[in-house]
Amino acid sequence: MQIFERTGRMAAAVIFLCILITAGCGQQTGGGPPQGGPPEVAVITIQPQPVATTTELAGRTKAHQIAEVRPQVGGIVQRRLFTEGSDVRAGQVLYQIDPATYQAAFDNARAALARSEANLPAIRLKAERVRELLADKAVSQQDYDDATAALKQAEADVQYWKATVENARINLKYTSVTAPISGRIGRSSVTEGALVSAQQPASLATIQRLDPMYVDVPQSTTELLRLRRSTEEGRLDQNGTKQRKVRLILDDGRPYPLEGTLEFRDITVDPTTGSVVLRAVFPNPKGILLPGMYVRAVVQEGIHKQAILVPQQAVSRDPKGNPLALIVDAEGKVQQRMITTDRAIGDQWLVTSGLAAGEKVIVEGMQKARPGSTVKAVPFVAEEEKSPVAANGTTPQPAAKNGR
């Protein structure tokens, strides 16, 4: 009996479950599929606009002027007259070399000059008298020639000793070693009592002018040819008013507060790196820049008069890595476009080919869009434009137009 009762209950439960399933299926079938329109996608409308493009190049700083202090005469260094690491001015005496022997040579040359100048008047008068006597035939021609030669020799002696005096004066002056330029002097390589000589290979000290400061950065010839081609094709204008302005980023990532000026682009290619050197000059009144510092220079390449910018999220890649974008045509259908990008500018790509003015590029909803399908295009709104009040309670600044 228990077996029959248990079997009956199970049969009743199965029948009840079948009724529920049948009722559910009937309700689903009777309702029919949900009715809806084409999926929505957010788009931007391409509008060409002028855009200034820059390139960031790594380089190093270099002193505007560098002078190595070297002795012009030999001798013992008596005094060092500067403080290492201080600023010196042009003409300031840095070292004093023992001048005793050079003073003696100068005095000896002056004495010899005085003796020659003292003998010259008598010899000149004698030559004049011989010339008068020759006219009266009182002396021979040989006597006249001898007197004339003696006069010329005396005059030459005077000139020789004048030059000797000047040379001795210069050597005496060189015993005071002066700064050739104004700037900051480094450490001294000699001390008092050291023996130095003219034209020695080692310098006594080095002076560097730190204001203004040079910044040398290399630029590859590939990049140089690309810029030239863009200029020739009319896509890039390199004649802007700020074309020669250069900004600087220091090694710690902070921007240098003062702008520099691009002085020249070298014409010689380094065969080891395949690059040319760009030189910019920066004011350095506070001495922030030091010679040999690693910096990054932001150089303006030019102005793209009709630049096409699209958000980076609107650009995808095919399996080969080629960039592509989806657009919505006039009939509301999706089309796929292969594009060429030049560089990233902020959160956007600079597109050089593949898109035209007035076309609508899909930015959001690309997963719902397939080439050839029909979609509903709505204007794209950036995240910062969607919320009028930021999280901290302040109103955010208007975002870039993203090419719209």
Please spell the DSSP secondary structure of 245-265, one letter per residue: EEEEE-TTSPBPSS-EEEEEE
Give bridge partners of residue 308 from the DSSP assignment: 351
Alpha carbon distance 39, 52 (integer Å): 37
CA distance 214 to 282: 6
pTM > 0.75: no
Fold classification of 71-98+175-202 (topology level): OB fold (Dihydrolipoamide Acetyltransferase, E2P) (2.40.50)
Residue 154: closest CA among 107, 99, 104, 115: 115
What are the boundaries of each domain within the chain?
49-62+209-386, 71-98+175-202, 99-168
- Mean pLDDT per 10-residue run, the chain (404 residues)? 48 53 45 60 87 83 93 94 92 94 95 92 89 83 87 92 95 94 93 91 93 89 75 61 78 90 83 86 91 89 80 88 89 88 83 87 86 87 58 39 36
Residue partners of 195: CB distance under 8 A and separation at least 6: 74, 75, 76, 77
Q: Write the CB contacts of 73 (distance below 8 Å, at least 6 apart in sequence).
A: 97, 102, 171, 174, 175, 198
Helix, strand, coil shares, percent, the chain, to 5:
30, 35, 35
Whole-number CA gyration radius for the chain:
45
For residue 148, what is the enclosing H or E element? helix 141-173
Distance of alpha carbon 282 from alpha carbon 216, whole angstroms: 11
Residue found under tokens 């002028």: 50
What is residue 206's three-state secondary structure? strand
pLDDT confidence of residue 368: 82
What single string gives the DSSP state of each residue in 117-139?
HHHHHHHHHHHHHHHHHHHTT-S
Q: Please report which residue ranges of 32-140 form alpha helices under DSSP H.
A: 100-135
Tell me the CATH architecture of domain 49-62+209-386: Beta Barrel (2.40)
For residue 392, the model assigns a pLDDT of 42
Q: Give the model's pLDDT for residue 213.
A: 93
pLDDT of residue 76: 95
Please identify, in words, the CATH class of the domain defined by 99-168: mainly alpha
CB atoms within 10 A of CB 24: 10
pLDDT at 357: 87
